[in-house]
Structure 1
Amino acid sequence: MSILLVDSYDSFTYNLRNLITSTTNANVITIHNDSYDLNIEDDKLSLDNLLNSIDAIVIGPGPGSPSNPSDIGVIPYIFQKCTNLPILGICLGFQIFCLLNDCSTHYLNNPIHGQIHKIKVLNNDDIFKDTPEFVDSVRYHSIYVKQDNSKKIIPLAIYNPSDNNETTGDSILMAAKHIKYPHYGVQYHPESICSSFGSNLIKNFWNLVDKEAHTKPLPKIEPHLVKSSPLIEKFTTELSNFEYNLLNYKPVDSKFDILQICDTLKANNQDVMLLNSASAPGEWSIIALPQVNVSDVITHSTENPNTIKFSKWNNDEQIEEKYTNDIFKSLSEYMLNKYFNPVIENKELMSCPFVGGIIGYMSYEEGSFIDIQNLEKRTKNDNIDDTKFCFIDRFIALSPSNNIYIVSIRQNDNEFIKNIETILNKSDNNINDSIINNELFKKSKITIPNKDDYFKSFHDCQKYLHSGDSYELCLTYNTIVQIPDNFQPWDIYKALVKKNPSPYSAYLNFNSSMLLSTSPERFISWNNKFCQMRPIKGTLKKNPNINYEKACKLLKIPKELGENLMIVDLIRDNLLFLLDKIEVTKLMTVEEYETIYQLVSVIEGNFTNEFTGIDILKNSLPPGSMTGAPKKRSVEILQKIEKNQRRGLYSGICGYWSLNNNADWSVIIRSLFRYSDDLCNENGYDTYRCGAGGALTVLSTDDGEWDEMLVKLHSVLQLFE
């Protein structure tokens, strides 16, 4: 038996699909509301054949208005044609259902996005059978329904302000059914992580279907919203590359901290790249040791999307260009050919997730839904570094207990390990004591966003939030930081990380582009068995008057909880698009960092089917915490409001993908990044950029969001005070 799920480009569709499949065990066919064009005879015939063969229909939520044809597509036609078929409309689907049955829709004075409210059930029959009188429901809507004089629908549930300890406001229709047809609808989102009795609602709806009368074979239809093919086959030991058959390592007894180790190596002409876990929840730190003219460098630019470049470290003269129609597919094939999962005897080192692999970053523009063609130029040439990775087969691993291991997976590389050991043992532990001259820092020029421009963009965002086109918009701006060119990037990074220690700090200098990061936010980590995502929404600067308990009270307010809940629901959807099983293991918990408190959730997914971490990564970019929801519409709105400016590395990701298929990626925030040929370059200065922004909801205020953006900027710009 089959259920048709109609998606209106929402970011919660696969949460709903998962709820339906887990409750009914039915075959769920998912289409977009514009998958068929009713003006094309063949399309109309195909849709009719589909509607004649399924047993029930769910019309999902989505952005926009129920009265706008471009937002609703074929949904009115489905309601009108399938009068005898059970149909359940959710949010936008509910509004369309009511509008078609002589009700009216209006805009709320105060839209509700990501808020948990109690609704009162008026009728415990039908879809609310075995449901208590009051149900916790998550609401995402700017538009509400008035029954007016409609004789065609029967109210099933309402929202009363008094039931939610509110003193003002009107009752709002939250669920209804048709007086004659088996058509139902709910205004809230039963699939949200914080809605209760969602599966009960779907079970009762499915019970409306006459299972014994089912005689409908499905027609041969073209697939619509189906899972794409995996980018690569599963990593297995049979794939192990003969080139890497041994992991060589040497423990080193050194009292140096990780910055001193890097200082020592650089003083001995060894280039370094650093992924530095300076605080929890980071664990191992990795000092990558690329070799000039030997280590592979992989480059991709969205300005030339069908070309991927392979060169060697610090040698851009010999570049091999290859065709690509998918940068993620190309990276997957590169890594699959080098798969290596060594047996490590050292009990501590075997817990290190990195055994060699690619280290680097991908920009915001490598994600989905971005109109690459209309982006403003950021650099003088047409090959901006959107993806930059170096293949690392030599590195130093620093354990959580500060033990040091020199590691190489090259064959016969004992001499290299011995040389590095000698360098570290002979080094002067005062080499890191040089302090950057604050007077020189004062010569840097900083151009922060214009407050009036920000306020205008803020209110433009509010128009879209109030119209129902988005529930949350992460508005961002770049700050230009021009630093005298006699400052070395490594010295800037050291000063930055000392001011703002973080669990996902990084120093990645490719010369053509570079990243100096003190990010606190993990985007995704994975291994062969499962993946984990850790969205952050809600930030509070630490000060002597705020302890952890007070921070919890200040962060766990409707605005912050709503922002975090939306991103949790969005990430659940991203994972459920490909995976069969996920779990929210931490929901809106306050975590303490060196300079801030943050509201964090943790979502985990298990790899029980053919998909792997790289599939999840591709499907999840750009990070939902940097866009808002629904993601597609929000990305499009933000690009327009941000005037087609490239975000660049800010809002992208950095980290590693290890040869044993372990990976850890952070969201690039609280960072400085630089392009060598930035259009804003001036003689005597190096141009760095520092992105900052915040998630805007209808509960946001312009002053509040401006101040929050300045707090985030300060975590980096305090370097120049």
Structure 2
Amino acid sequence: MNFTLCSSSSELRYPLVEGLPYTNKNMLESEPFVKVDKFNKKDNTQVFNHDAGKLVMSSNLMPQCLNGSYVGKNNLKEPGWKLEFVRTLLIDNYDSYTYNIYQELSVINGVPPMVVRNDELTLKDICYYLYEETSFDNVVISPGPGSPTCPADIGICLQVLLDCWDIPILGVCLGHQALGYAHGAKVVHAPEPVHGRLSEVEHNGCRLFNDIPSGHNSGFKVVRYHSLVIDAESLPDELIPIAWTSSMDALSFIETQKSDFSSEYAAGYFSEKLKNGSYSPFSHSGKMRSVKVLMGIMHSTRPHYGVQFHPESIATCHGRQIFKNFREITEEHWLNSRPSFIKKRNFDYTACLQMPQRLFTEVPGHQQLVNNADGQLYSKASRSSLVQNSESNASCSGMVDMVNLLHPSAGVKYLKLRWKKFKHLAGTVGGAKNIFCELFGHHKAENTFWLDSSSIEKRRARFSFMGGKGGTLWKQLTFKLSERSDKILKGSGFLSVEDAQGSSSSTFLDEGFLDFLKKEVLSFCYDERDYEGLPFDFHGGYIGYMGYSLKVECGASSNCHKSKTPDACFFFADNLVVIDHCSDDVYILSIKEECTSTTPWLDNTEQKLLSLKASATEEGGEPTLQALRSSKCQGSFIVDKSREEYIKDVDKCLEYIKDGESYELCLTTQMRKRIGEMDSLGLYLHLREKNPAPYAAWLNFSKENLCVCCSSPERFLRLDRNGILEAKPIKGTIARGATLEEDEQRKLQLQYSEKDQAENLMIVDLLRNDLGRVCEPGSVHVPHLMDVESYATVHTMVSTIRGKKRSDVSAVDCVRAAFPGGSMTEVQAAGNTTGNHFRVTTFGESHGGGVGCVIDGCPPRMPLSAEDLQGDLDRRRPGQSRITTPRKETDTCRILSGVHEGVTTGTPILVLVPNTDQRGRVYDEMSVAYRPSLADRTYDQKYGIRSVQGGGRSSARETIGRVAAGALVLAYVSQFQKVVLPEELVDHHTLTLDQIESNIFRCPDPEYAEKMNAAVDAVRVKGESVGGVVTCIVRNCPPGLGSPVFDKLEAELAKAAMSIPATKGFEIGSGFFHLDDQGKIRTRTNRSGGIQKKQNTVTRDKREIELRALDCFDPCVVPRAVPIVEAAIALALVDQLMADFAQCHMFPINPDLQDPVRQPLVEAMEAAA
């Protein structure tokens, strides 16, 4: 039985653990888990002093709870009140599958969740919405790339798991790992990376798996995307394993479809194995009984759950039931804690559908598409009940009027569509090829397009569209991203527009190309009656291409490469010819401004088509085309990367996947062949004949000297007039066989390939996510999964994903949500990586498990061992003398990847230096107080985390990774360029490098070294410290490094030097300054003084001459330099301020000290008592 006594029950909130209520700070536990407060084992009674003056007594008898597990069944009576809907805060860890969870929760909960990125809100904000505004009933933490041990990967999630202990929380994949890591479990590499593969799962019958079978052949098969797992042996007592793999064998999708599972067998197996929820393959001490992988955990006293697999995947069995069970857990939780609140909220159903206004108006980078979906649902609910804001003339919270956005009144162009149809004409005039060549093939087919369904077998593509320049509304858009679009003006660039008369104009688009295109498309209006009777959905508009660099307008962090071609080119096609390959009909269409009545293009094209038909009839046979020549070319194609380089790239991809940074990487390379002058259209006609495809395309942007010849069986997206959005990705291809028997064998080989199934499954889940961003909740579905389709030369594995587009998004929004197709957007850890080509990422904390670095970009075949790095690490090691920290660390490094048999492999090099003298308890007192002159407060205010690991990432011990990488770089540059190493700079006749290094100050002058020694001793005995100057000399530095304006070499060097902890100043070159006796700043040299006099210099060919500069120079540049310096500093600051504001300061920061991340629960409870 369970009873609770208190002076005022209405003042307390009662979170729920498996249907058993307990008060806000008083956690009732079964006997093996008694940890908190004083517990009288004799009578199972806990006595607490809660909030001064309230006496709370609890007694807990759980006869069905064995071995630390929850009861398998809920013994509570069916509640009289249920939540009409459940509001979920969905924390997105920058994952590619978050919106699959969004769609599932929208259906299960009755209202879409609110999606926020893991770095958009502070803990104070989340707690405010959870506890003060009661805006959400539960929290779901999404999957994501990376590891929960990396703050940049996991964001706010660890704090939410630790502080929001009485809120139902479900963690998926990375969220599951975060639940374990937050409470002390270890996250390690899985026995092998598992991505897009299925496993059978057993569970212990806990509430999360209610009505779900368990074990081998039970039918409970789940999809896994992960490289890391929670080490079951490291689980603390408060975390209970609730699910695990039945075996180490992965299953293919075809196997899951042909399962011989029967409900009768499963019921018997289920009841036999679960034993009232007590069954587990792990003893609670953590010893594994098998090699089974942990798939689920729960907290013993909190309503917190985690699953390693992906319940939202299209191929996971019973995935929706898991989300349904979590909803029921949430309902029971609040029913037992605040039943009166549920009654009130259900009564005021419409008002409660509103999400917090601040989440809409203040969260940076939050997609308005999510907001609008909530607004749409709110509008539907408000039809039966008008909800008015308490303030007059105020709109409802978070609501956006999308009608005005999608149908702007200003700048609307009202167009008229005219068209004609010619029945059964195409075949009689030679088909699409002949029509295009006769109508548009002249003058090298300049400024023409052809969306060519050259393969129409099995009606995969029914229509072809073609056209060219000629109409009054025709124009060409050419967009090129700004050079700085990756850094500050993200997505901005230059747009050039050429109209039908040949006039050109150029403008700079601050908001990028896609925003411009969206406004353009939404500005065109014409009557729906104009296209009644047309069997196709494209009636004119923009036709062109988007380059992959435009991903910076779709959420990507940056572009690594600059395209030589325009980033986007589009025609506005106002005249076009359409061929219906099913009926052989031909349509001609023309768009005109509403005031125009004449249709000259339609009339002329009709005459050409009829004359073409007449000539074909007179000749009495199939018309022939004039031969289209292409110049002969010798030689073969050249691959950009050699076989060895490509294999190394594959290895690098495998490393990223192993470390959990990606589910799937599409590695490509290019083949090139210089062929000189040629007939581009002739090349395309040859291509479409040799490799016919349903989605072939020809685009000729002659002004840019650019032609696109495409022969693709794959369609990215399709949006029809009814708002149905469809993606049809291909993953898995095999060449067709030479014989009918071999062809069928290859088709079966593709269908049963686990590799191809995994790839296809990953891309299907990805596109379900992308469509889920813009489609109505619950509408995204997969009518065809992993079908094998046969084409002229290949068999392919194809899936179809469909959804109903929301009314508040445009066609361009749909493209933005899914572009680039099939890509996993990289999320770079902010502030931990330096370099663009030679990239170094440091990791670890001063008093954590270790520190180190990942070095990416080192060339292959370079000799390297740990000993090569150890020398410099020993030079910075602590505890070497009385003037360094007494911490005893060996700083012994280990190279874990990127080196094989003593040489580099060209793949990322991981260097690890374990911490052996952590001294964590030294920081106990500092965990609640800031250390003066250190980064404690700054770190806390920025991230909301009070690290107890010695300053976190701001600790000087972080520089170990830099030193290790620097040692490698010194060895590299000494071979690549004639850079002089330190030992070569020493005059060995007077002093050796060893003698300098033996000096604790590393000062080459023994006399000054003694003075330094005395100065340091004087301040050391006072408990103070003193600074100094380090001079670094680089000789033989090649000219031309860096670039003008913002990326000067001096600027990059200053950034690198100033990023070193405790650095307060940076000087470079000959203009070193000093203070004279009066404290005035003076420079030691003035080599630019008198620049208007004759001076000695050298010419470009290194001749010495005298030169008198006749230009105008200031005798003193200081006065005019003042605004320049102010502007330069302001530009640098605003860039950093914008980034910092967007990441961390959209909402107020809690001025109170945060509890340490690792503070144990017992201490927190004792402090509260």
Look up the match of 2:494: 307
- Is the counterpart of residue 172 in structure 1 residue 258 in structure 2? no
Alignment of 1:513-532 (within 5 A): 513-529=706-722, 530-532=724-726
Aligned-residue offset at 1:27: 6.0
Look up the match of 2:544: 360
Aligned CA distance change for structure 1 residues 597 and 445 (closer, same or farther; 3 Å): closer
Greater Cα shift, 150-159 or 303-312:
303-312
Checking the alignment, whether the CA contact within 8 Å between 1:231 and 1:329 is kept in structure 2 is: no
Aligned CA distance change for structure 1 residues 308 and 427 (closer, same or farther; 3 Å): farther
Look up the match of 1:109: 191
One-letter amino acid of the structure 2 residue matched with residue 262 of structure 1: F
SS of 2:673's partner is strand
Look up the match of 2:151: 69
Look up the match of 1:619: 817
* 1:378-433: CA deviation from partner (whole Å, max 9, x where unpaired): 43xxxx41111112222222111333333334442253234423552466765525
Alignment of 1:230-309 (within 5 A): 233=405, 242-250=414-422, 252=425, 254-266=428-440, 272-280=448-456, 281-291=460-470, 295-303=474-482, 305-309=492-496
One-letter amino acid of the structure 2 residue matched with residue 331 of structure 1: L
Q: Please give the alpha-carbon distance, in whole angstroms, between the structure 2 residues aligned to 1:584 and 1:341.
A: 33
Look up the match of 2:329: 208
Aligned CA distance change for structure 1 residues 158 and 323 (closer, same or farther; 3 Å): closer
Aligned-residue offset at 1:524: 0.4
Q: Please give the alpha-carbon distance, in whole angstroms, between the structure 2 residues aligned to 1:635 and 1:445.
A: 38
Aligned-residue offset at 1:13: 0.8
Aligned CA distance change for structure 1 residues 406 and 162 (closer, same or farther; 3 Å): closer
1:403 maps to which of 572, 585, 600:
585
Alignment of 1:490-505 (within 5 A): 490-505=681-696
Q: Please give the alpha-carbon distance, in whole angstroms, between the structure 1 residues aligned to 2:758 and 2:250.
A: 16
Alignment of 1:325-344 (within 5 A): 325-341=511-527, 343=529
- Is the counterpart of residue 195 in structure 1 residue 316 in structure 2? yes
Structure number with higher relative contact order (C-alpha < 8 Å, ≥ 6 residues apart) = 1
Checking the alignment, whether the CA contact within 8 Å between 1:470 and 1:633 is kept in structure 2 is: no
Look up the match of 1:119: 201
1:468 maps to which of 637, 643, 660:
660
More strand by share: 1
Q: Please give the alpha-carbon distance, in whole angstroms, between the structure 1 residues aligned to 2:403 and 2:478.
A: 19
One-letter amino acid of the structure 2 residue matched with residue 586 of structure 1: H
Aligned CA distance change for structure 1 residues 238 and 420 (closer, same or farther; 3 Å): farther
One-letter amino acid of the structure 1 residue matched with residue 212 of structure 2: T
Look up the match of 1:667: none
Look up the match of 1:570: 766
- Listed as ranges, the gaps of 5+ residues in structure 2 are 1-85, 253-288, 346-351, 373-401, 484-491, 617-621, 839-1169
Look up the match of 1:158: 244
Checking the alignment, whether the CA contact within 8 Å between 2:103 and 2:112 is kept in structure 1 is: no
Q: CA RMSD in A?
A: 3.4
1:601 maps to which of 796, 799, 806:
799
Aligned-residue offset at 1:7: 1.4
Checking the alignment, whether the CA contact within 8 Å between 2:628 and 2:679 is kept in structure 1 is: no
Checking the alignment, whether the CA contact within 8 Å between 1:63 and 1:71 is kept in structure 2 is: yes
SS of 1:502's partner is coil
Q: Please give the alpha-carbon distance, in whole angstroms, between the structure 1 residues aligned to 2:408 and 2:805.
A: 14
Checking the alignment, whether the CA contact within 8 Å between 2:629 and 2:679 is kept in structure 1 is: no
Alignment of 1:643-658 (within 5 A): none
One-letter amino acid of the structure 1 residue matched with residue 214 of structure 2: E
Look up the match of 2:698: 507
Look up the match of 1:222: 359
- Is the counterpart of residue 416 in structure 1 residue 604 in structure 2? yes
Identity score, percent = 26
One-letter amino acid of the structure 2 residue matched with residue 337 of structure 1: S
Checking the alignment, whether the CA contact within 8 Å between 1:296 and 1:310 is kept in structure 2 is: yes
Look up the match of 1:11: 96
Aligned CA distance change for structure 1 residues 369 and 241 (closer, same or farther; 3 Å): closer
Greater Cα shift, 458-467 or 150-159:
150-159
Pick the structure with greater CA Rg. Answer: 2
Q: Please give the alpha-carbon distance, in whole angstroms, between the structure 2 residues aligned to 1:430 and 1:462.
A: 54
SS of 1:498's partner is helix
Aligned CA distance change for structure 1 residues 431 and 239 (closer, same or farther; 3 Å): farther
Aligned-residue offset at 1:58: 1.5
Aligned CA distance change for structure 1 residues 322 and 448 (closer, same or farther; 3 Å): closer
Greater Cα shift, 523-532 or 202-211:
202-211
Checking the alignment, whether the CA contact within 8 Å between 2:201 and 2:246 is kept in structure 1 is: yes
Checking the alignment, whether the CA contact within 8 Å between 1:2 and 1:26 is kept in structure 2 is: yes
Q: Please give the alpha-carbon distance, in whole angstroms, between the structure 1 residues aligned to 2:472 and 2:636.
A: 34
One-letter amino acid of the structure 1 residue matched with residue 157 of structure 2: I
Aligned-residue offset at 1:614: 2.1
Q: Please give the alpha-carbon distance, in whole angstroms, between the structure 2 residues aligned to 1:616 and 1:55.
A: 30
More helix by share: 2
SS of 1:476's partner is coil
Q: Please give the alpha-carbon distance, in whole angstroms, between the structure 2 residues aligned to 1:231 and 1:517.
A: 38
Aligned-residue offset at 1:549: 5.6
Q: Please give the alpha-carbon distance, in whole angstroms, between the structure 1 residues aligned to 2:468 and 2:311.
A: 50
Checking the alignment, whether the CA contact within 8 Å between 1:406 and 1:420 is kept in structure 2 is: no
Aligned CA distance change for structure 1 residues 569 and 310 (closer, same or farther; 3 Å): same
* 1:128-149: CA deviation from partner (whole Å, max 9, x where unpaired): 1111114111101101122225
Aligned-residue offset at 1:21: 2.6
Aligned CA distance change for structure 1 residues 507 and 161 (closer, same or farther; 3 Å): same
Checking the alignment, whether the CA contact within 8 Å between 2:453 and 2:464 is kept in structure 1 is: yes
* 1:643-692: CA deviation from partner (whole Å, max 9, x where unpaired): 79xxxxxxxxxxxxxxxxxxxxxxxxxxxxxxxxxxxxxxxxxxxxxxxx
Aligned-residue offset at 1:471: 0.6
Q: Please give the alpha-carbon distance, in whole angstroms, between the structure 2 residues aligned to 1:406 and 1:203.
A: 53
Aligned-residue offset at 1:11: 0.9
One-letter amino acid of the structure 1 residue matched with residue 147 of structure 2: S
Look up the match of 1:693: none
* 1:79-136: CA deviation from partner (whole Å, max 9, x where unpaired): 1112222221111111121123332222123210011111012x22311111111411
Aligned-residue offset at 1:211: 3.3
- Is the counterpart of residue 536 in structure 1 residue 730 in structure 2? yes
Q: Please give the alpha-carbon distance, in whole angstroms, between the structure 2 residues aligned to 1:157 and 1:173.
A: 6
Aligned-residue offset at 1:191: 0.7
Look up the match of 1:710: none
* 1:265-291: CA deviation from partner (whole Å, max 9, x where unpaired): 346557542111012411111121322
- Listed as ranges, the gaps of 5+ residues in structure 1 are 37-42, 645-721
Checking the alignment, whether the CA contact within 8 Å between 2:198 and 2:251 is kept in structure 1 is: no
SS of 2:295's partner is strand
Aligned CA distance change for structure 1 residues 31 and 404 (closer, same or farther; 3 Å): closer
Q: Please give the alpha-carbon distance, in whole angstroms, between the structure 2 residues aligned to 1:268 and 1:458.
A: 46
Look up the match of 1:590: 788
Greater Cα shift, 215-224 or 271-280:
215-224
Aligned-residue offset at 1:158: 0.9
- Is the counterpart of residue 318 in structure 1 residue 492 in structure 2? no
Look up the match of 1:665: none
Q: Please give the alpha-carbon distance, in whole angstroms, between the structure 2 residues aligned to 1:584 and 1:617.
A: 19
2:214 maps to which of 130, 133, 138:
133
- Is the counterpart of residue 94 in structure 1 residue 195 in structure 2? no
Q: Please give the alpha-carbon distance, in whole angstroms, between the structure 2 residues aligned to 1:8 and 1:247.
A: 50
* 1:251-308: CA deviation from partner (whole Å, max 9, x where unpaired): 5463312222222234655754211101241111112132289721112112373432
TM-score, scaled to structure 2: 0.49
Aligned-residue offset at 1:478: 2.3
One-letter amino acid of the structure 2 residue matched with residue 491 of structure 1: G
Aligned CA distance change for structure 1 residues 643 and 543 (closer, same or farther; 3 Å): farther
Checking the alignment, whether the CA contact within 8 Å between 2:177 and 2:230 is kept in structure 1 is: yes
SS of 1:247's partner is strand
Aligned CA distance change for structure 1 residues 563 and 469 (closer, same or farther; 3 Å): same
Look up the match of 1:707: none
